[in-house]
């Protein structure tokens, strides 16, 4: 009896059929046939039911989506940044590096799309003047199939234009793709320009700041949040989409996934391999200085005979400063 219940649950789960109708087959104790044809499941003995086939639900996605490229930035961990107390400059050289948080959301979404369709390959692309392999190993552990790294000293301190240009040339060399996913911005520079520039260079339709993504019939549909509404946009693939942090919660790789990542390939190229001339990556925007905001304390000491008096003086001071209102 227990096995029969388990069989019923399994069959219902896989075929997504009405439990009541499945039970009738088991109770009848008569042989029946299940035929999967195109987008229908036919079941028959004395009954003739036809249901949509879950095996066929993703066929259109599988046919339309084979390669997803995710652009990843090796960013400074801003939570670990220190500030020079004398100059106010950010000490980025000693700060640890990690995958930019928004890019990790893009990677997670690519993996979820792959899990739905079961056929796509995920490639990550990173541009850096430093060795980003440890960071890319994390991306491979999370679920990427292959990583491409453009590592060249000439890429030090490049602006968003040069970054987008190198990414575009890298993607052209990789070859065919169906979808490019990027984070809508990076946590260290927060420019939000690379995705749009990359789409323009590759002559791709783009959807920015997506919070939901679905794929069907060669089209990608994305929902994004506006100030007072949700907007749904549809585009033919190939296309480029930038994602927000609310689209998903990135997974933490297991020990087994980390071990498997060591066997995955990281392809390293230089600007020479991509035939990129130095003048092509010259800065279009010059950053003159980056300083931490100065904060001055007023050093006001509030005293009183008792806590009520101190609380009253504090409240008056906060009202005078405009921090709170009556």
Parse the chain into domains and list their residue ranges. Answer: 2-56, 60-281, 296-326
Query: What is the reported pLDDT for 256?
Result: 93
DSSP symbol at 89: B
What whole-number distance in Å separates Cα of residue 269 and Cα of residue 124? 13
Query: What is the reported pLDDT for 64?
Result: 64
Query: What is the reported pLDDT for 288?
Result: 79
Query: What is the reported pLDDT for 323?
Result: 82
What whole-number distance in Å separates Cα of residue 200 and Cα of residue 210? 18
Which residues of 118-175 form beta strands (DSSP E)? 121-128, 146-151
Which CA distances in Å does 258 have to 41, 117, 183, 290? 40, 23, 23, 36
Quote the distance between the C-alpha of residue 4 and its chain's center.
42
Which CA distances in Å does 309 have to 298, 305, 306, 316? 21, 7, 6, 11
DSSP 28-71: HT---EEEEETTEEEEESS-EEEEE-HHHHTHHHHHH--EEEEE
Using alpha carbons only, how large is the chain's radius of gyration in Å?
A: 27
Which CA distances in Å does 289 have to 87, 88, 281? 11, 10, 20
User: Are 136 and 274 spatial neighbours (Cβ–Cβ below 8 Å)?
Assistant: no
Is pTM beyond 0.75? Reply is no
Over the chain (326 residues), the average pLDDT of each successive run of 10 is 45 42 44 48 46 45 77 82 73 78 94 88 91 90 95 85 93 94 85 91 94 91 89 94 94 93 93 88 78 75 88 88 79
What whole-number distance in Å separates Cα of residue 251 and Cα of residue 260? 16
Residue 283: count other Cβ atoms within 10 Å of its Cβ. Answer: 11
> 60-281 — its CATH code?
3.40.50.620
Residue whose C-alpha is closest to residue 57's, from 194, 231, 217, 172: 217
- The contacts of residue 115 (CB under 8 Å, 6+ apart) are none
What whole-number distance in Å separates Cα of residue 154 and Cα of residue 172? 20
Bridge partners of 74, per DSSP, are 99
DSSP 190-225: ----HHHHHHHHTT--EEEEEEEEEEETTEEEEEEE
What whole-number distance in Å separates Cα of residue 176 and Cα of residue 67? 7
Output phi, psi for 296, to 5 deg.
-115, 130
């Amino acid at each position: 009896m227990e096995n029969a219940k388990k069989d019923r649950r399994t069959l219902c789960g896989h075929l997504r059929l009405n439990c009541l109708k499945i039970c009738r087959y088991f109770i009848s104790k008569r042989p029946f046939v299940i035929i999967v044809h195109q987008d229908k499941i036919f079941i028959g003995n004395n009954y003739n039911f036809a249901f949509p086939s879950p095996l066929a639900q993703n066929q259109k996605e599988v046919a339309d989506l084979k390669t997803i490229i995710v652009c990843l930035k090796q960013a400074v961990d801003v939570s670990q940044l220190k500030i020079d107390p004398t100059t106010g400059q950010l000490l980025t050289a000693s700060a640890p590096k990690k995958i930019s948080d928004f890019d990790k959301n893009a990677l997670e979404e690519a993996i979820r799309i792959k899990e739905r369709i079961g056929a796509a390959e995920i490639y990550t692309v990173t541009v850096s003047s430093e060795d980003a392999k440890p960071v890319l190993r994390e991306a491979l552990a999370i679920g990427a199939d292959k990583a491409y790294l453009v590592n060249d000293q000439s890429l030090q301190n490049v602006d968003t234009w040069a970054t987008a240009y190198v990414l575009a040339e890298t993607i052209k060399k990789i070859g065919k793709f169906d979808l490019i996913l990027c984070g809508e911005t990076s946590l260290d520079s927060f420019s939000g320009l690379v995705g749009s520039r990359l789409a323009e260079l590759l002559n791709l339709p783009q959807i920015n700041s997506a919070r939901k993504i679905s794929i069907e019939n060669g089209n990608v549909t994305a929902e994004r949040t506006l100030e007072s509404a949700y907007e749904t946009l549809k585009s033919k693939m190939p296309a480029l989409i930038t994602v927000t942090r609310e689209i998903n919660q990135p997974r933490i790789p297991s020990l087994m996934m980390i071990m498997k990542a060591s066997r995955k390939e990281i392809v390293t190229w230089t600007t020479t391999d991509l035939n990129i001339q130095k003048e092509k990556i010259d800065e279009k925007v010059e950053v003159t200085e980056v300083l931490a905001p100065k904060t001055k304390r007023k050093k006001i000491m509030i005293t009183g005979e008792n806590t009520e008096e101190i609380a009253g003086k504090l409240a008056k001071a906060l009202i005078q400063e405009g921090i709170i209102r009556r």
